[in-house]
Structure 1
Amino acid sequence: MTTSAELGLPALTVAPGGVATTTLTVRNDLDIVEAYTFEVVGDCAAWTTVEPARVSLYPGTSEAVTIRLAPPRSSATRAGEFPLGVRVLPVERPDLVTVPEATVTVTAFQELQAALAPRRRRGWLRGRYRASVRNLGNAPTAVTFTPGQAGEDLRFGVTPEKLRLEPGESGEVRVQARTRKLIWFGKPASWPFEVTVGPEERPESKDGKDGKDTKGTEARPETVPQAAAPVPQKPVLDGEFLQLPIFPRWLLVLLAALIALLLAWFALVRPAVRSSAKQAAEQAVVAQQSATPPPPAAVPTGDAPDVPANGATPGGQTKPGAGKPNTGPGSQGGPGGGPAVPGTGAQFSETIDVQTANGAAGTGSYPVPHGKVLDITDIVVANFQGDQGVVTITAGNKTITTIALETFRNQDYHWVTPIQVPEDQTVTANVTCEVPGTPASGKQAASCHELLNVSGTLSDIRR
């Protein structure tokens, strides 16, 4: 006496997300009433149930229970063939347990989840993107990426070209979109494109099946055709490359405005400025000539004809510009003599060195020799230590200028009309030292030290 149990189908095929059923017939060959419980064992136990889970049988009777297989549509449900066992356990006689078995084939399905990041790129020539994909199917899959653009204005590169992913595994590739030419000027151009993500295409066989040539093989018995698996949807990723011009529009507007300003400057402003400057210079020259007395008449020398004192020429006509001889102060004229002619003397340069103790006053001077006239055209004052105080420059009985020492290091003055210093008078630099400065050596000096360079011409007075 024993317990017998038999599955209705020795082999079953089920798709993830679907349901497959078969029956299990249990017969009580004992002479007692027996209750039976059922336990599914094997790889299919997680998603297989028995309904009802317990039956009671009189001796010599049997009953069929339903075996329900419902694998989830998940990458955790691997595709392939798996054994299915149902343990039939008698309650009263557990030693008479039996385990009928069958083979369950779980079909494969393909499902991909993909994304493109970033979706939009900006650049002059190319944009780089990252395409990520995850295998949500239950079988290993070789994934390919196929970029495309309707106008063929872009060229694409994918690195690596394909990925092999196990169920539940993720991967990433780099996608590069590159334009065929640059945009130098104008508006940005938008180039939308798509990246199709899907399993690698397998070459078709000569007989339309698994890539194997069946020519010459023996005929096989026909089997009942099964429903074709649904074609998996291929994710299509939308991307965009915004191509920027090398020179934006605002730069062109700015350049045009600058060119217009330059043209306006050269055509309108610059001539007006030059004309105003020229007019001002001419007015300054006229004003200076009006304020400056005319130079004394030249003294005849050598074999030049004698000129009367009243400026008349030998023909009795009065010479233009001739008049009475200059006998005022500074003319150095006198009975039997005349002043020096400006511009006819020798070049002259003299340096006056003034060193003054702290808190004291010092003077340096240059006396004009007897019988000479000094025409000063340039003066340079050097405060090379950076002293603090006051310097006053005089020529004869006239004060040329007074300067605060702390306001300069080197100061120069130039005159178109020379400053004339008569004979026996001096060019003097009076320095009042308040605080000695610090020369280039970095150590404060003990006294003030100024230099005055006087340049011009030194002429003889004709007696």
Structure 2
Amino acid sequence: MAAVVRLTESNVTAEPGSETSCSVRIRNAGPVVDRFAVELVGAACDWTDVEPSVVSLLPGAESQVVLTFRPPRSSAVGAGSMPFGVKVRSSEDPESSRVEEGELTVAPFTDLGTELVPRTSRGSRTGRHELVVDNNGNHPLTVEIHAADPDRLLDFRISPALLDLAPGTATFIKLRAQPTRRFLRGDNRTLPFQAFVTAPDVEATTADGAMLQHALLPKSTMKVVALTLAVVAASVALWFTVLKPQVHSEATKAVQQQSAQLSAEANSAKQHAAEAQAQASRAAQSAQQAKASPSGGASPTPSGARGAAAGTLANSDSKTAIDFRITTSVAPGRPGSFTTASHDQPKKTVLWITDMVLQNPQGDTGTLQVRRGRIVLFEFGLANFRDLDYHFVQPLRFTRTDRITLAVDCQNPGATKCTPSAYLDGQLVKG
């Protein structure tokens, strides 16, 4: 290629937001007329003008092309050196081109933006804010954050208080304002303050804010307390004027009713005691008759009530009197299979039974036997009775080896257990 390209300035400095120019000299060193296309290569091509972009030169002729750099005032174009090249192509020899290189230095600029969110906080103890710091410049920056209020009524907590900002970034800083004095009740107080963002060799930027301090006990709380006290006072008045007399009246009625009931129970108890005394007298008469009789027998009373004349011993003693109950719980089984339950009689004693009450409350079916040892004394069909009394003029005698025993053959349908029992009364004496 027969072209000579030369930059008048190989190092150019440009201020963001303004323009700077330099020239390129192009000479046709070829033997024929040639047309040359000029363009800029590199990162600066988007905001650089080339004028003219095409020149036609006679052999040996020379022309000048002006490059105008207009870097934007934006964080998108960083401060510092930026290489560029001027590319010249010949129309006579399109396959070849010539590039002349230079260097452009973009000057730094600083642009800090601050905003306090929210501008006014509310609270009784702490106001919470966020300080947004924008680095709109084209170079990194180290900044320091602090805050102050004119009346020194606030303490501040800032996190972080020192930070590095990259170009084109926004950073959020936590800022808490705490009143130095608190008040219990009263009107809200507005406490203004300023947040400062400072950096070396840069004018500080500020953001205005305020904290609306509330009372520790807001007005609504006082209203609730007053209403509560009024309700308590009304409740106390209601108690002493209405409820307490009514409760006293109801309590008096209850005591009277209870006294009447106790009186009735006492009268009933006296009546039962008189009946028991009469029955004891009749029993004593029967005992005298039994003593005079040469032999005794059983006197059944199937009606369900104790007989009028119970069997007694001639030498009966209240110290040797005994009564007990034998209970059973037998599952249904094969006919003729008996399950036994007996009284645990002490050794070297003789048990005389004068009264026996058999009970079948569930109406079980099957067979119940009363035995002396293995000897069957009585046998009953369970389906034939619910309650059955026996009072013996001549008491029945049992020892520890031949103890009184209940044997049950349960024939209930299904799995219902038979539960007949016996109540026994008599004397236990040493044998």
**Correspondences of 1:54-73 after superposition (within 5 Å):** 54-73=54-73
- Counterpart in the other structure of 1:121: 121
Tell me whether 1:6 sits opposite 2:16 in the alignment: no
SS at match of 1:75: coil
Deviations 1:205-258 (A, max 9, x none): xxxxxxxxxxxxxxxxxxxxxxxxxx66x5432322111111223444665677
1-side partners of 2:170 and 2:220: how far apart?
A: 45
**Correspondences of 1:429-448 after superposition (within 5 Å):** none
2-side partners of 1:261 and 1:63: how far apart?
A: 102
2-side partners of 1:29 and 1:182: how far apart?
A: 88
Equivalent of 1:241 in 211, 216, 220? 211
| Aligned amino acid, residue 206 of structure 2 | V
1-side partners of 2:85 and 2:211: how far apart?
A: 57
- Counterpart in the other structure of 2:174: 174
Deviation of 1:123 after TM superposition, in Å, equals 1.5
TM-score by length of 2: 0.52
Deviations 1:361-381 (A, max 9, x none): xxx7965999xxxxxxxxxxx
- Counterpart in the other structure of 2:200: 201
| Aligned amino acid, residue 201 of structure 1 | P
Is the alpha carbon distance of 1:103 and 1:349 closer, same or farther for their aligned partners in structure 2, counting shifts above 3 Å? same
Is the alpha carbon distance of 1:365 and 1:38 closer, same or farther for their aligned partners in structure 2, counting shifts above 3 Å? same
Equivalent of 2:265 in 344, 347, 351? 351
Tell me whether 1:92 sits opposite 2:92 in the alignment: yes
2-side partners of 1:369 and 1:134: how far apart?
A: 105
2-side partners of 1:114 and 1:177: how far apart?
A: 17
- Counterpart in the other structure of 2:425: none
Is the alpha carbon distance of 1:43 and 1:260 closer, same or farther for their aligned partners in structure 2, counting shifts above 3 Å? closer
Tell me whether 1:46 sits opposite 2:42 in the alignment: no
Structure 2 residue ranges without an equivalent (≥5):
250-261, 275-431
Is the alpha carbon distance of 1:367 and 1:176 closer, same or farther for their aligned partners in structure 2, counting shifts above 3 Å? same
Deviation of 1:176 after TM superposition, in Å, equals 1.0
Deviations 1:364-408 (A, max 9, x none): 7965999xxxxxxxxxxxxxxxxxxxxxxxxxxxxxxxxxxxxxx
SS at match of 1:44: helix
Deviations 1:29-54 (A, max 9, x none): 21210100112122322322211111
* RMSD, matched Cα: 3.6
Is the alpha carbon distance of 1:63 and 1:255 closer, same or farther for their aligned partners in structure 2, counting shifts above 3 Å? same
Deviation of 1:69 after TM superposition, in Å, equals 0.7
| Aligned amino acid, residue 139 of structure 1 | H
2-side partners of 1:102 and 1:369: how far apart?
A: 135
Structure 1 residue ranges without an equivalent (≥5):
203-230, 282-347, 354-363, 371-463
- Counterpart in the other structure of 1:102: 102
Question: Percent of aligned positions with the same letter in both sequences?
Answer: 30
Deviations 1:325-352 (A, max 9, x none): xxxxxxxxxxxxxxxxxxxxxxx85637
1-side partners of 2:4 and 2:194: how far apart?
A: 61
SS at match of 2:171: strand
TM-score by length of 1: 0.49
Deviation of 1:11 after TM superposition, in Å, equals 1.6
Deviations 1:48-99 (A, max 9, x none): 2211111101112111111011112221101001222101111113466322
SS at match of 1:351: helix
Deviation of 1:188 after TM superposition, in Å, equals 1.4
Q: Is the 8 A contact 1:3 1:96 kept in 2?
A: no
2-side partners of 1:192 and 1:33: how far apart?
A: 77
2-side partners of 1:350 and 1:241: how far apart?
A: 80
SS at match of 2:73: coil
Q: Is the 8 A contact 1:163 1:171 kept in 2?
A: no
- Counterpart in the other structure of 1:83: 83
Deviation of 1:171 after TM superposition, in Å, equals 2.0
Deviations 1:411-452 (A, max 9, x none): xxxxxxxxxxxxxxxxxxxxxxxxxxxxxxxxxxxxxxxxxx
2-side partners of 1:156 and 1:22: how far apart?
A: 53
| Aligned amino acid, residue 237 of structure 1 | A
SS at match of 2:99: coil
Q: How many residues align?
A: 259
Deviations 1:145-198 (A, max 9, x none): 222211111111111112212222332221111110211121111112221234
2-side partners of 1:83 and 1:369: how far apart?
A: 129
2-side partners of 1:134 and 1:52: how far apart?
A: 40
2-side partners of 1:66 and 1:42: how far apart?
A: 17
2-side partners of 1:97 and 1:34: how far apart?
A: 13
| Aligned amino acid, residue 200 of structure 2 | E
Relative to its length, the structure with more helix (as a share) is 2
2-side partners of 1:86 and 1:265: how far apart?
A: 97
Is the alpha carbon distance of 1:258 and 1:50 closer, same or farther for their aligned partners in structure 2, counting shifts above 3 Å? closer
Q: Is the 8 A contact 2:146 2:161 kept in 1?
A: no
